[in-house]
Amino acid sequence: MVASNSAKDRLKRRLLGNPLPRDQEEAKTVPSFQALPILSSDALSSVAYATDAALGVLILAGSGVLSFSLPITITIVALIAIVVFSYRQTITAYPQGGGAYVVGRANLGTLASLVAAASLLIDYVLTAAVSLMAGTQALSSLLPWLLPWQVLFALVLLGLVGWANLRGVRDSGRLFALPTYAFVVMVALLALAGLQNLIFSHGFSPDPPPLVKAVEPLGLYLILRAFSSGCSAMTGIEAIANGVQLFRSPSAQRARNTLLVMGLLLSSMFLAVSGLGFMYGVAPNPEVTVMAQLGMRVFGPHSPLLWVLQITTLLILMLAANTAFADFPRLSALLARDNFLPRQMAWIGDRLVFQNGILALLVATGMIILICQGNTTVAVNLYALGVFMAFTLSQAGMVVHWWRERGEGWQGHALMNGIGSLSTLVVLAVIVISKFSEGAWSVVIAIPLLVLLLASVRRRYRRVFAQLELQPGDSCSIHLGPRSGSIGNVSIVWIPAWSRPTLEALRYAATVSDRVIGVWVRPDDADGELLRSQWQRSVGDDPRLELQILESPYASLITPFADFVDAVEESDPDQTITIVMPMAIPRYRFDTLLLNQRSINMREALDQRKNRIFTAVRYYLPA
């Protein structure tokens, strides 16, 4: 058993790497030219599929209406400008980072913040899925033999991105900069080469697209559906407002400027792709993306530049998925710290990442890829709803913020955020109405269900903590009475927190031991002096009852305890040692997700080392 577990540990470290010390957890600030690709890969990569999404709806009315893609694109660019300038106000107000959940919680209350959080969690899952499926399509446009294997290839890419994040690969500016700037350069080359061809050879008379018969009549409803699909170009705009702390000082000003640059790049690239698509009569093709069709037309079907364009598209889409793998676990951890999700979602793994959040995103994204069968059109129908829900709540929260602060120039700030909130609210309504029957109904249902789940977790945590916490009238004295002879046992009591189960475990240990050692491994955000004072009030100065507070250089709170037990055993191999672990026994099955998770991991870790005597002291929660 020990050998197999040791082999398991070695395999885990080989796959994920050795534990990293906590002092490497703090993110280093970077210059703006590195922060731009780190925080903008999601937004800029949407150029690769947004035009396809809009054309894919317009083609239902026949190839003759594809020219509507231009006014739709221009309208979306105007909306991008409104949202960019609105989020510049958010950066001013929240220089430490102002995501929709944070802004909503501070200004609109718990319910609005949970709606924003639920929208973002769904959006991050769809971001990862759409990006990886679009990346697969970029490659299959060059290699048609990949078409039957698109789902499998997308899952392979998902596994690679998930594995890299579980290893704790840092947001390296250089790692992100090369593919992102290469993609921007290739789209710029595509636009310049296309413009040169239009001026000197082709002329500015648009080519007619391939003839496709209409299956639906052209009307306002169809145009709105195409517009809402094209709004997938706007995902990721808020990332810079969330990541202000990444910038060097003055961070807020640099973030505002970088957000403006990102907005200009996104708008220019989106206009270039849609405009060239219109001039060259490009129609949506399920086997070849619009970007690939343009590359074949401008660069030539066998040009190395076409390969570079598609490879850089694949890479930036993988980086966009990686952005979701950074943001989903971070938001999940924030919710877990506020007790809206099980607390293990906030645990930091050995590689200083929120590994449970990464694993949850891996599973959810894999399910979306399988359900959509690698087809981005299906996922895009669900995509923009969560994005614009978060946009609307964030900007509405900012209006309330400026109204409360009423500082210098607050009316202008509130007006800008008010315009942003109303604009995105209108688009949100359009998306819900136009995409409801195409799958948006599932998100409309999923968001309130997720909000109810988050609220129920917090409500249950409050009840459980009220039952576990010591009340002023509780008797909490612990004594090791006089002994007529040696019992021959030392008890090591693991202290997860100062609570009723912990006191029950200490009382039990005091009755069966000559010596009791209470061991607490201090988390980063915990107060060691508070625990010492609680111990002093309950135990006093009896030398046979001692408290050990351990520090951990790594994220794990389990390894220091296991190492301490090893050291006590090695100091006196003939001594009998009992490990006493408090366990809160829930009355309801749902509570098992909220309680004792670290105790279970602790037991497994100790089992891997040696055969020891364990005693679980159960504290049964009232119904």
Which pLDDT band, with edges at 50, 70 and 90, does 190 fall under?
very high
Which class for 272: exposed (0-12), middle (13-18), buried (19 or more C-beta within 10 A)? buried
Structure tokens at 578: 């009992």
507 within a domain of the structure (yes/no):
yes
What confidence score (pLDDT) does residue 3 get? 38
Residue that finishes a domain, picked among 458, 475, 509 = 458
Per-residue pLDDT, averaged over 296-319, amounts to 90
Per-residue pLDDT, averaged over 80-87, amounts to 90
Per-residue pLDDT, averaged over 489-494, amounts to 85
Which pLDDT band, with edges at 50, 70 and 90, does 473 fall under?
low
Residue that finishes a domain, picked among 458, 476, 497 = 458
Residue that finishes a domain, picked among 442, 458, 474 = 458
**454 and 494 part of one domain:** no
Interval 416-434: pLDDT, tens = 889 989 988 988 888 888 8
Residues 6+ apart with CB under 8 A from 452: none
Which pLDDT band, with edges at 50, 70 and 90, does 259 fall under?
very high
Rounded to an integer, what distance in angstroms lies between the CA atom of residue 471 and that of residue 467? 9
Which class for 110: exposed (0-12), middle (13-18), buried (19 or more C-beta within 10 A)? middle
Q: Is the pLDDT of residue 10 over 60?
A: yes
- The helix-helix angle for 304-337 and 110-140 (nearest 10°) equals 160
Contact indicator for 294, 276 with CB cutoff of 8 Å: yes
471 within a domain of the structure (yes/no):
no
**45 and 145 part of one domain:** yes
**43 and 120 part of one domain:** yes
Which pLDDT band, with edges at 50, 70 and 90, does 168 fall under?
low
Domain count, the chain: 2
Q: Is the pLDDT of residue 172 over 50?
A: no
Residues 6+ apart with CB under 8 A from 367: none
Nearest to 575 by CA among 503, 515, 535, 623: 515
What confidence score (pLDDT) does residue 309 get? 93
Which pLDDT band, with edges at 50, 70 and 90, does 189 fall under?
very high
**511 and 450 part of one domain:** no
Which pLDDT band, with edges at 50, 70 and 90, does 1 fall under?
very low
Of residues 438 and 184, the one with the higher pLDDT is 184
484 within a domain of the structure (yes/no):
no
**203 and 301 part of one domain:** yes
DSSP bridge partners of 493: 518, 580
Domain at 336, CATH number: 1.20.1740.10
**453 and 495 part of one domain:** no
Q: Is the pLDDT of residue 364 over 90?
A: yes
Q: Is the pLDDT of residue 471 over 80?
A: no
Which pLDDT band, with edges at 50, 70 and 90, does 4 fall under?
very low
| Lowest pLDDT segment from 18-32, 188-202, 372-386, 452-466 | 18-32
Per-residue pLDDT, averaged over 328-332, amounts to 86
466 within a domain of the structure (yes/no):
no
| Lowest pLDDT segment from 65-79, 337-351, 449-463 | 337-351
| Lowest pLDDT segment from 367-376, 491-500, 602-611 | 602-611
Q: What is the DSSP letter of 311?
A: H
Domain at 576, CATH number: 3.40.50.620
Most confident of 108-122, 152-166, 259-273, 583-597: 259-273
**108 and 168 part of one domain:** yes
**444 and 501 part of one domain:** no
What confidence score (pLDDT) does residue 269 get? 94
**421 and 512 part of one domain:** no
473 within a domain of the structure (yes/no):
no
What confidence score (pLDDT) does residue 171 get? 45
| Lowest pLDDT segment from 23-27, 349-353, 397-401, 575-579 | 23-27
What confidence score (pLDDT) does residue 449 get? 94
What confidence score (pLDDT) does residue 2 get? 36
Which residue range forms the structural domain that includes residue 220?
39-458
Structure tokens at 419: 């315009």
Interval 527-550: pLDDT, tens = 778 888 887 777 777 777 888 888
Per-residue pLDDT, averaged over 314-333, amounts to 85
**425 and 558 part of one domain:** no
Separation in Å, CA 540 to CA 377, 490, 517, 519: 67, 19, 13, 16
436 within a domain of the structure (yes/no):
yes
408 within a domain of the structure (yes/no):
yes
What confidence score (pLDDT) does residue 5 get? 46
3-state helix, strand, coil in the chain (%, to 5): 70, 5, 25
178 within a domain of the structure (yes/no):
yes
Per-residue pLDDT, averaged over 437-462, amounts to 87
Q: Is the pLDDT of residue 32 over 80?
A: yes
Which parts of 70-221 are beta strand (E)? none
Contact indicator for 467, 622 with CB cutoff of 8 Å: yes
Interval 113-157: pLDDT, tens = 999 999 989 988 988 898 899 889 888 888 888 888 888 999 998
**185 and 142 part of one domain:** yes
- pTM for the model stands at 0.81
Contact indicator for 503, 538 with CB cutoff of 8 Å: yes
**83 and 203 part of one domain:** yes
